[in-house]
């Protein structure tokens, strides 16, 4: 029942966006720059810029569309920007060097991946805009996620080679799972009741992804992406991550898997994970995000300083949008 309800909500959101009651923006960070760029998917142009955030890494948006939360690697802060004025109003000190970031479903907590030191997930209270807790993980954290049902925070460690699962209510680690190599991007699908079914995981030094059963904490499948055509495989500058980027379509029917090594996005049907197509994008693609209606996919190309716009139905790259220096994380924001 919850799955059907989620689909209805997603369809309603797409209809609202299409009707002009809300504004959709692709939020693109620039890892070697000092600004975050906002792309209008209706025109595929950069229409806004949040300036003054040196080495910005991860970004998320408040559920009500009022604020952006962006990790600042240069100053080890979480920067808060007003979504209307695009000005930074607060720099929240973190315990160490941050990477990516996630927000709770109710918008009351922001969970920041702390890559430096012993590793942690810093917890930010959005009412007071202060750090209220730091959950130690024994291994620097690369990416944080909130599961689709909002019950858990999932944090992946590269040096710790493990997945940490945190109860969102207690903000304590409830289980961990060791992996064969460092944990890179993750994505999640759900059971019919809305609970988390599987974690899709990309690891260091593997050009593909794993499936992890959320209930048993065990690897179910190890799936390499296809080999790239002769002469197209990239091996330089991969930073230990030949595959880096996972996203599920808003309708839950496909998983998009990004391969930096192959400069391609591969599409797998869900839940059976059958390969259904691919599309070539820019150099060193690093992250990806869908529009709310699932018709377009935006891929950050760190080596091309561009964002590829992919038509999902035809598996074609429509164009590349020039952005800042070394674009990496991106996300889709729906603003009032």
For position 173, what pLDDT does the model report?
98
What's the burial of 206, exposed, middle or buried (CB within 10 Å: 0-12/13-18/19+)?
buried
Question: What pLDDT digit, counting tens, does each position of 19-75 carry?
Answer: 446 899 999 999 999 999 999 999 999 999 999 999 999 999 999 999 999 999 999
Q: Per-residue pLDDT averaged across 193-216, rounded?
A: 98
Q: How confident is the model at residue 230 (pLDDT cuts 50, 70, 90)?
A: confident
Q: Is the pLDDT of residue 14 over 50?
A: no
Structure tokens at 129: 């805009």
Nearest to 69 by CA among 41, 60, 311, 216: 60
Q: Per-residue pLDDT averaged across 240-269, rounded?
A: 97
Question: What pLDDT digit, counting tens, does each position of 264-289 carry?
Answer: 999 999 999 999 999 999 999 999 99
Question: Helix/strand/coil (H, E, C) string of 44-78?
Answer: CEEEEEEECCCCEEEEEECCCCCEEEEEECCCCEE
Which phi and psi (to 5°) does residue 262 adopt? -95, -5
Q: Which residue has the tokens 């209706």?
A: 42
Q: How confident is the model at residue 111 (pLDDT cuts 50, 70, 90)?
A: very high
Report the C-alpha gap between 88 and 91 in whole angstroms: 8
Q: Is the pLDDT of residue 5 over 80?
A: no
Long-range contacts of 119-127 (CB under 8 A, 24+ apart): 119/157, 119/159, 119/160, 120/95, 120/96, 121/153, 121/155, 121/164, 121/166, 122/78, 122/94, 122/95, 122/98, 123/171, 124/69, 124/78, 124/92, 126/62, 126/67
| Mean confidence (pLDDT) of the chain | 93
Domain ranges of the chain: 24-244
For position 21, what pLDDT does the model report?
61
Q: What value does the CA radius of gyration of the chain take, rounded to a whole number of Å?
A: 18
In Å, how far from its chain's centre is CA 44?
A: 20
**Percentage of the chain lying above the pLDDT 90 cut:** 90
| Helix, strand, coil share (%) of the chain residues, nearest 5 | 5, 55, 40
Q: Which residue has the tokens 């999932």?
A: 154
Query: Sign of torsion, CA 71 74 77 81?
Result: negative
Q: Are 189 and 197 in contact (CB under 8 A)?
A: yes
Report the C-alpha gap between 53 and 37 in whole angstroms: 11
For position 13, what pLDDT does the model report?
42
Report the C-alpha gap between 190 and 96 in whole angstroms: 33
DSSP letters of 189-257?
EE-TTSSEEEEEEEETT-SEEEEEETTTTEEEEEEEPPPPPTT----TT-TT-SEEEEEE-TTSSEEEE
CATH of domain 24-244: 2.130.10.10
- Bridge partners (DSSP) listed for residue 335: 23
Q: Strand 45-51 and strand 56-61: pairing? A: unpaired
For position 239, what pLDDT does the model report?
86
For position 19, what pLDDT does the model report?
42
Q: Is the pLDDT of residue 10 over 50?
A: no
For position 183, what pLDDT does the model report?
98
For position 229, what pLDDT does the model report?
84
For position 225, what pLDDT does the model report?
98
Q: Are 36 and 48 in contact (CB under 8 A)?
A: no
Q: Is the pLDDT of residue 11 over 50?
A: no
Q: Is the pLDDT of residue 130 over 50?
A: yes
The helix (run of H) or strand (run of E) holding residue 112 is strand 109-114
Top-confidence residue, 226 or 237: 226
């Amino acid at each position: 029942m919850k799955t059907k309800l989620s689909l209805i909500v997603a369809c309603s959101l797409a209809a609202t966006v299409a009707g002009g009651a809300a504004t959709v923006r692709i939020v693109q960070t620039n890892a070697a720059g000092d600004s975050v760029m906002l792309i209008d998917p209706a025109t595929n142009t950069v229409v806004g810029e949040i300036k003054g955030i040196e080495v910005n890494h991860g970004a998320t948006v408040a559920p009500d569309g009022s604020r952006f939360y962006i990790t600042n690697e240069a100053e080890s802060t979480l920067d808060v920007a007003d979504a209307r004025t695009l000005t930074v109003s607060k720099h929240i000190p973190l315990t160490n060097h941050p990477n990516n970031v996630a927000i709770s479903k109710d918008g009351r907590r922001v969970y920041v991946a702390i890559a430096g030191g012993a590793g942690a997930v810093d917890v930010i209270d959005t009412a007071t805009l202060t750090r209220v807790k730091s959950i130690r993980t024994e291994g620097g954290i690369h990416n944080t996620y909130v599961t689709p049902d909002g019950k858990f925070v999932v944090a992946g460690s590269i040096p710790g080679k493990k997945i940490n699962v945190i109860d969102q209510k207690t903000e304590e680690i409830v289980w961990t799972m060791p992996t064969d190599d460092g944990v890179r991007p993750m994505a999640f699908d759900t059971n019919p009741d809305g609970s988390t079914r599987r974690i899709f995981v990309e690891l260091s030094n593997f050009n593909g992804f794993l499936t992890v059963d959320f209930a048993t904490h065990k690897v179910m499948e190890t799936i390499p992406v296809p080999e790239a055509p002769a002469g197209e495989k990239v091996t330089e500058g991969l930073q230990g991550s030949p595959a880096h980027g996972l996203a599920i379509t808003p309708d839950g029917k496909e998983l998009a898997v990004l391969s930096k090594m192959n400069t391609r996005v591969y599409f797998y049907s869900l839940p059976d994970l059958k390969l259904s197509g691919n599309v070539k994008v820019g150099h060193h693609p690093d992250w990806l995000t869908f529009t709310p209606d699932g018709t377009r996919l935006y891929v950050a190309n760190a080596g091309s300083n561009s964002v590829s716009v992919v038509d999902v139905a035809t598996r074609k790259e429509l164009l590349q949008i020039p952005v800042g220096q070394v674009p990496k994380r991106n996300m889709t924001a729906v603003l009032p």
